[in-house]
Structure 1
């Protein structure tokens, strides 16, 4: 997985092996061997690579995500891909346990469903959404009062 992840991450950034090798402080040949799976970088180099790509070392080494048959690169820190869900006959979905745990979602929690015609659907806890709206209204009112 490491070799594949290195190739995907480098290509996503539109970089050459030479450019990444320079950032890490190694030769292009050494970096090429990592991408080919011939050798494995030490922990220090893995740390540099992970920081350079904005991902965790664990994701760099172990992440093997796919959407359907398409393999995707590790997500940046703070971003997640928990897999696919299937919509039931009444529109219900099951939110993966890891997602529920990450966002502390419990049975009975209320979620707001947001949508964008071009981008898709997003979920947010209703209490968090309400707090964000109230804060936006407060800032808007504050700016209006400053103009007066």
Structure 2
């Protein structure tokens, strides 16, 4: 229908090259989808990927901050004790 060789399609599928703009427009017309959807893929699939990426990230509390905090508390306690 689009006069695209099977070798070209095979290269697209293997990621060796990408279709040119003219072919992208023809494909978007054939499948009744926007160029954005055609290039970026399925939006629901993208949302699942984004959710999974954010689920895996956890906040790690910087454990090393304990040392300055204890140092300041020690200094404060010694100042109070030496004052009396």
TM-score, normalization by structure 1: 0.29
Q: Flag the structure with higher helix content.
A: 2
Normalised TM-score (structure 2): 0.48
Where relative contact order (Cα < 8 A, 6+ residues apart) is larger, the structure is: 1
Q: By percentage of residues, which structure has more strand?
A: 1
Q: Which has the larger radius of gyration?
A: 2
